[in-house]
Every structure is written in C-alpha cells, then in structure tokens.
C-alpha cells in the first residue's frame, strides 16, 4: 500500500514538473511570437516623425503639441487608455547655448494596459522624448534621433505588438514617454514628478526599464545593461532575457547611482530600475548631427525586443508563481552605501523609527522617520557591517547593510 502511495505521489510530482515545464515553454513561445512582430520599418517611421518635429527641447513652445502627438500615436497603435500628466518643472542651466532660469509646464505621456490578476502592480517601460543640443539653437532644431526618439520607438513598438496580439497582461503595464530629462541635473524632470506622485500614492511598481539612446551600433551588436545596487535581480533578468530572446551581446555593470538619468528618481524611492543604452559611442548626441541617418533600425528593433520580452516574461510567470510566497519586503540600497541609505518597505508597513546596530548588537544610530521619508543619513557611521531595524510601533523589519 505504502509503495502504491509512493508511486502515486511520484507520478503526481512528475505531473507537476511537466505542467510547470510546459507552462514555461508556452510562455516562451508567446514571448517569441510577440517580439518577432517588432520591426525595423515601424521603428524607422516613429524616429523620422519625431525628428521631423524639428525640436523636442523641453523649453521650446511646441512641447505640448509634441506630447499630444505621442498620445495620439499610442491611441492609433491600439492603446485605449492614454493620458497626459502635466507638472511644473524648474530649470536653471548656464552651459553652452543652454542659458535658462525658468519654470515650465511639462507633459509626461502615459499609455496603460490594465492587468487582470494584479492590476495594482505595474511594470513600466519608459523613455524620455525631449532632446537638447548644447551648442546649436535648441529652441529651433534638436533632432534627437538616437537620443531619444530611439527609446520612444520601443514604447510605440511594444504598444503596437501587445495590441496586435490582444495581449492581456496579469500586471498593469505602463509605457511612459517622459518629458524634461535632458536638464535633469539642473532642475526637475518629468520622471521625478511622476515618481513623487507614485510614491505619495503608495504605488506598487514591479520594474522600470528605461531605454535611453538605443539606436547607434558600430557593428558590435552590444547593448549596455546598467543596473543599480539592491536591484541587481532586474539587471540579471534583462541579461537572461537578452541571451534567450535576442541576438545581442551585452556589457553589464551595476552602479550605486545613475545620476542624470530617469532611473535615478525611481531608484531613490526604492523602485527596481535598469538603464538600457547602446554600447557604441555616438558623438553626435546633443548636437544637430543626431539625425536618423546614423540610427541602425535593426539594432534598435532588437534592443526594443529585449524590453518587451522582459516585461512579458515576468508577467507570464505570475501564472506559475502565484502560489509562491513573496520575498521579505524591506530593501536597503545602495548596498554598500557611503553617505545616504535609502530603504523601501511593503506599502502596508509605514515605519516611524529606525535603529542601526553594529554586529555586536550595540545601537549606533537611531531616530524618527517623519513624513514617510525613506532616507537615512549614515555619513557619520564608521565603515563596517550593520543591521537596520525599522518599526511602526507594532512590527519590526530588519535588513543588513555595509557602510563604505
């Protein structure tokens, strides 16, 4: 009897394994079939149209109409829910011909496909749509074909192929064209406005894939996958999907900060993000010479396939993993950290106090966490290993980090 029971158990386990395996294979074929629809002619058309606007500089008067055009393009590609989110951005820059001290309205364009299983959890592919030329006349001409009409092309192609295949995601997918990235180091960016609002609303974001200048290829067919400490798993997933679904080579590196990119505001609020860009050095970026003739459409399409594959693959895995428990929610980053330590918790846990102990359990630093801050100044800590505890008065969550 026991033997019989064990055989049944074995068959049951085997069946489970086969089921899981065939689900994986099914998922892979769905991803493969969908991303195969991404094509270079469409990519070419989007980039040409964006360049033909003459300028997409954030301070140029046509910026609202550029955003309206992007919105209508998403709609024409089959996305029903598209909105323009406006915000005010202060910019103060004195560099080359960029001499501005001004506040402007800026317009992010957000195309949404609502998820059917976890609608409250969002995967994002984003790209900035503005451009700047430093020594030209950016108010008149800033073509930005590679930087970053190429990234916007990824958003449009993803929208097009997901609509074409009637893909109904488990999680919500947002395709976001961000405004005002080029002067990000000299004021507010569209991405920072978006993140501030998302964070205030406790928005749950699964991943943020930022495509920025993905069209220049001198023949090495290599893509840069630039991850952030604490969020290596997303960079690793990109790398895995690149190898499985594309013919690209990669250069991968993990940074402790990505200042000057649309990844940074997400990173600072604890959202998992990765920066995707070309590996070849395009010296025409931020000049009048960044024009469509230098963009390799096949390469741009292939890099676009990678982002689409990652979002779809992780979305489809939800069917397989839904019964598995999620990992612990407290994350600290960067890790190691030198002066500022950020943390992220589950949205239901709102810590009020923090305590930092050394390895012997001695409390070295403690304090309040007012107004939902997620930043702790660790400048005065000695180098070494520490444990951080966060508490809301009821529960305690713990994470380890290294001070550099």
Residue 286 vs 313, nearer CB to Zn ion: 286
Between 206 and 278, CB nearer to Zn ion: 278
Nearer Cβ to Zn ion (159/184): 184
> Looking at 148, 246, 273, 282, which residue binds Zn ion (CB under 5 A)?
148
Q: How far is the CB of 180 from Zn ion (least distance, A)?
A: 11
Which long-range CB contacts under 8 A does 64-72 form with residues at least 24 apart?
Answer: 64/105, 64/107, 66/107, 66/129, 67/107, 67/108, 67/109, 67/129, 67/177, 67/179, 70/109, 70/129, 70/152, 70/177, 71/109
Q: Which is nearer to Zn ion, 260 or 367 (CB)?
A: 260
Q: What Cα–Cα distance (Å) separates residue 162 from each residue in 206, 250, 333?
A: 19, 25, 33
Min separation Cβ 178 and Zn ion, Å = 10
Which residues are within 8 A (CB) of 163 and not within 5 positions of it... i.e. 6 or more apart?
77, 78, 79
| Burial zone of 361 (CB within 10 Å; 0-12 exposed, 13-18 middle, 19+ buried) | exposed
Query: For residues 152 and 228, which CB has a smaller minimum distance to Zn ion in the complex?
Result: 152
CB of 128 to Zn ion, least distance (A): 6
Q: Which of residues 194-223 bind Zn ion (CB under 5 A)?
A: 212
- Report the 10 Å Cβ neighbour count for 7: 10
The distance of closest approach from Cβ of residue 154 to Zn ion in the complex, given in angstroms and rounded to an integer, is 13
* Cβ-based nearer residue to Zn ion, 188 or 314: 188
Minimum CB separation of residue 12 from Zn ion in Å reads 53
| C-beta separation of 278 from 213 below 8 A | yes
- 147 lies in the binding site for Zn ion (CB under 5 A): yes
Q: What is the DSSP string of 165-176?
A: TT---SEEEEEE
- Residue span binding Zn ion (CB under 5 A) among the ranges 51-59, 105-113, 148-156, 238-246: 148-156
Rule CB under 5 A: say whether 290 interacts with Zn ion: no
Binding mask 162-201 for Zn ion (x = CB under 5 A): ----------------------------------------
Closer residue to Zn ion, CB minimum distance, 269 or 286:
286
Contact call for residues 270 and 343 (beta carbons, < 8 A) = yes
Q: And the tokens for 358?
A: 């050394």
Q: From 147-155, 265-273, 341-349, 374-382, give the range in contact with Zn ion by CB under 5 A.
A: 147-155
Nearest to 291 by CA among 154, 144, 148, 137: 144
Eight-state DSSP code of residue 337: B
Four-point Cα dihedral 258, 259, 261, 266, nearest 10 = 70
Find out whether 275 and 261 touch, Cβ atoms under 8 Å: yes
Does 146 engage in binding with Zn ion (CB under 5 A)? no
Q: ∠ at Cα 248 (56, 258), nearest 5°?
A: 50
**What is the nearest approach in angstroms of Zn ion to the Cβ of residue 147?**
4
Minimum CB distance to Zn ion smaller for 170 or for 217: 217
Smallest distance, Å, CB 174 to Zn ion? 19
Write down the least CB distance from residue 225 to Zn ion, Å. 16
Listed ranges 32-40, 78-86, 141-149, 233-241: which one lies at the site for Zn ion (CB under 5 A) = 141-149
Residue whose token pair is 């290829």 = 217
Residues that bind Zn ion (CB under 5 A): 147-148, 212
């Amino acid at each position: 009897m026991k033997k019989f029971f064990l055989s049944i158990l074995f068959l049951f386990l085997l069946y489970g394994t086969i089921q899981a395996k065939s689900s994986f294979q099914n998922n892979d074929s769905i991803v493969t079939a969908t991303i195969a629809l991404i094509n270079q002619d469409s990519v070419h058309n989007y980039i040409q149209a964006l360049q033909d606007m003459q300028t997409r500089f954030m301070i140029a008067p046509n910026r609202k109409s550029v955003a309206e055009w992007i919105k209508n393009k998403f709609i024409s590609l089959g996305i029903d829910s598209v909105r323009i989110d406006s915000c005010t951005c202060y910019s103060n820059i004195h560099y080359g011909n960029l001499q501005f001290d001004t506040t402007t309205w800026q317009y992010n364009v957000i195309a949404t496909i609502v998820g059917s299983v976890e609608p409250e959890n969002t995967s994002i592919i984003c790209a900035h749509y503005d451009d700047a030329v430093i020594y030209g006349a950016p108010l008149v001409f800033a073509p930005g074909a590679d930087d970053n009409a190429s990234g916007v092309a990824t958003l449009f192609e993803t929208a097009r192929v997901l609509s074409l295949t009637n893909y109904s995601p488990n999680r919500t997918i947002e395709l976001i064209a961000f405004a005002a990235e080029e002067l990000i180091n000299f004021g507010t960016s569209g991405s920072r406005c978006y993140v501030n609002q998302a964070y205030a609303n406790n928005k749950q974001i699964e991943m943020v894939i930022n495509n920025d200048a993905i069209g220049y290829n001198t023949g090495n067919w290599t893509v840069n996958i630039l991850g952030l400490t604490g969020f290596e798993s997303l960079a690793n997933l990109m790398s895995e999907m690149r190898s499985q679904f594309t013919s690209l080579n990669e250069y991968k590196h993990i940074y402790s900060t990505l200042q000057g990119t649309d990844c940074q505001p997400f990173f600072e609020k604890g959202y998992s993000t990765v920066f995707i860009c070309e590996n070849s050095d395009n010296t025409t970026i931020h000049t009048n010479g960044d024009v469509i003739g230098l963009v390799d459409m096949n390469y741009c399409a292939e890099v676009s396939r990678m982002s689409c594959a990652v979002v779809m693959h992780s979305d489809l895995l939800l069917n397989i993993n839904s019964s598995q428990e999620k990992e612990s929610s407290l994350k600290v980053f960067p890790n190691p950290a030198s002066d500022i330590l950020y943390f992220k918790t589950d949205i239901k846990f709102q810590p009020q106090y923090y305590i930092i102990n050394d390895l012997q359990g001695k409390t070295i630093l403690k304090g309040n966490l007012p107004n939902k801050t997620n930043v702790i100044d660790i400048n005065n800590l000695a180098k070494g290993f520490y444990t951080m505890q966060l508490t809301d008065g009821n529960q305690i969550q713990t994470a380890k980090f290294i001070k550099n």
